[in-house]
Amino acid sequence: AQSVSQHNHHVILSEAASLELGCNYSYGGTVNLFWYVQYPGQHLQLLLKYFSGDPLVKGIKGFEAEFIKSKFSFNLRKPSVQWSDTAEYFCAVNAQNGNKLVFGAGTILRVKS
């Protein structure tokens, strides 16, 4: 069965600090990878996705993620966070031949202004 592990449940950063949120998955086959964000009181939104091709994926709002197949990782990065990035971030995986999307437990990011 697939599983997704997010390394930190809570992260607190000051504005302009760099961000990296870890995500590892366990699945031996070919996967699609996603990062979703949930701002306070809002619904889940897609930040970025990886299906194939260039392993460095750029998403909305200056976020990017790198797929490292050998490490089963898909870490999310942003060079300089803003107060408005305060949210919960979810990594998710599905097998390319499957329908189910499996989520990590989420990382709550708080950015101090």
Partner 1 sequence: DVKVTQSSRYLVKRTGEKVFLECVQDMDHENMFWYRQDPGLGLRLIYFSYDVKMKEKGDIPEGYSVSREKKERFSLILESASTNQTSMYLCASSFPLYGYTFGSGTRLTVV
| Interface residue list for partner 1 (CB under 8 A) | 4, 6, 9, 34, 36, 42-46, 49, 51, 90, 92, 99-106
Report the alpha-carbon distance of residue 57 to residue 39 in Å, rounded: 21
Question: Toward partner 1, which CB reaches closer, 73 or 106?
Answer: 106
Question: Toward partner 1, which CB reaches closer, 73 or 107?
Answer: 107
Whether the Cβ atoms of residue 50 and residue 99 lie closer than 8 Å to each other: no
Whether the Cβ atoms of residue 76 and residue 6 lie closer than 8 Å to each other: no
> Which residues share a beta bridge with 103?
92
Q: Are strands 87-95 and 56-58 parallel, antiparallel or unpaired?
A: unpaired
Q: What is the nearest approach in angstroms of partner 1 to the Cβ of residue 111?
A: 19
Question: Toward partner 1, which CB reaches closer, 9 or 61?
Answer: 9
Q: Are strands 87-95 and 102-103 parallel, antiparallel or unpaired?
A: antiparallel
Q: What is the nearest approach in angstroms of partner 1 to the Cβ of residue 12?
A: 17
Q: What is the nearest approach in angstroms of partner 1 to the Cβ of residue 80?
A: 26
